Amino acid sequence: MEKNLSLGEFIITRLVKASGYSAIVFVTLIFYFLLREGLPTLGEVELENLLSTRWYPIESYFGILPLISGSLIVTIGAALIAVPFGLGTAIFIAEIAPRWAREILKPLVELLGGLPSVVLGFLGILVLSPNLRILLNLPTGLTAFTGSLLLGAIAVPTVVSIAEDALDSVPRSYRDAALALGATRWQTIWRVTLPAARSGVLTAIMLGVGRAIGETMTVMMVTGNAPVLATSLSALFSPVRTMTATIAAEMGEVASGSIHYHTLFFIGMVLFIISLAVNITASSVVFRQKKRAERVLS
């Protein structure tokens, strides 16, 4: 009995430990498969072609610059919306709102985070883009701007929840000290609480932007999908096509193993590396902040 128990416990402990490593295994596997299917592109498509401004795979034009610029412009637009609104809402929830308002606001923001992106895209097509077309007097409502508005909404919950956490973790005594010195609550927020939480706020912004770059369905549905290189900010009001939307729209129709197939994986590889860079930077900021906090408190 005793022996059985410890054998069983031995096996379970092993299984639990193995599961613990699973995240590392999966990240490695994902990167491996993206490399395996994406790297052949570099041998099949000349670099000049790949870095050209024309994406037209049927005639073997594989320039990914228009797709990168499309992702960039939609993401910048989304950040311009998500950062002020996300931070504003986070400050309001953490510092200003009475308890009852907080209890309503937090679940609502969480709800927005849970809304499937395809639903937002659907409303974007039927409601937002026709109205924007009339309002802004554009030839089509399916533009980078429409995508930015919706992507902003998708990134807001990420920004709010992380920024609010950061503000919440600023010690009570910081605020008390500022208030005791005669600062108003508003001055305390701007000069004490926000600066103390700045690395968490920075993380919130980065992860929000990361969320926007990777979003697929909404941008595919509302940005019009025209792979044109954006050369100025006016591109915000014309159709664009992002990297994610290109993969989602075209992967279903390509033959596996073809040049087009490899190039789509190559784009996926670029996206993976971008998200890796964003997340590693964001988490190293958090680690730095923790170390600083430990130093101050000890």
Partner 1 sequence: MNRNLVQRLGFGLLSFMALLTVLPIILVIIFIVVQGGSVISVEFITGFPFGGMRSGGIWPAIVGTFYLTLGTAIFSVPLGVAAAIYLSEYASDNGLTRLIRLAIINLSGIPSVVYGLFGLGLFVFFLQFGTSILSASLTLSIMTLPVIISTSEEALRAVPQAFRTVSISVGATRWQTIRRIVLPEALPGIITGVILGLERAAGETAPILFTGAAFFLPRLPGSPFDATMALPYHLFVISTQVPEMPIQIQYGTALVLITFVLAMNLIANYVRSRARARRQW
Site for partner 1 in 118-157 (CB under 8 A): 118-123, 125-127, 153, 156
Q: Nearest distance from residue 189's CB to partner 1, in Å?
A: 8
Interface segment toward partner 1; rule CB under 8 A; list 52-60, 88-96, 161-169, 171-179: 88-96
Through-space distance between the first and last CA atoms of the chain, rounded to whole angstroms: 49
Q: Nearest distance from residue 60's CB to partner 1, in Å?
A: 21
* Residue 17 sits in the site that holds partner 1 (CB under 8 A): yes
Q: Nearest distance from residue 266's CB to partner 1, in Å?
A: 10
Q: Nearest distance from residue 145's CB to partner 1, in Å?
A: 16
Name the pairing type of β-strands 55-56 and 61-62: antiparallel
Residue 124: other Cβ atoms inside 10 A = 26
- What crossing angle do the helices spanning 198-214 and 259-297 adopt, rounded to 10°? 170
What does the per-residue mask of binding to partner 1 show for 216-235, with x meaning CB under 8 A? Answer: xx---x--------------
Closest to partner 1 by CB, 73 or 162: 162
* Residue 40 sits in the site that holds partner 1 (CB under 8 A): no
Q: Nearest distance from residue 48's CB to partner 1, in Å?
A: 25
User: Which residue of 251, 259, 285, 293 would you call a contact of partner 1, by CB under 8 A?
Assistant: 251
Closest to partner 1 by CB, 36 or 46: 36
Give the whole-angstrom CA distance, residue 25 versus residue 19. Answer: 10
Q: Nearest distance from residue 231's CB to partner 1, in Å?
A: 25
User: Which residue of 65, 76, 229, 278 would you call a contact of partner 1, by CB under 8 A?
Assistant: 278
User: Which residue of 280, 290, 291, 292 would you call a contact of partner 1, by CB under 8 A?
Assistant: 280
* Residue 100 sits in the site that holds partner 1 (CB under 8 A): no
**Residues in 167-186 that interact with partner 1 by CB under 8 A:** 184-186
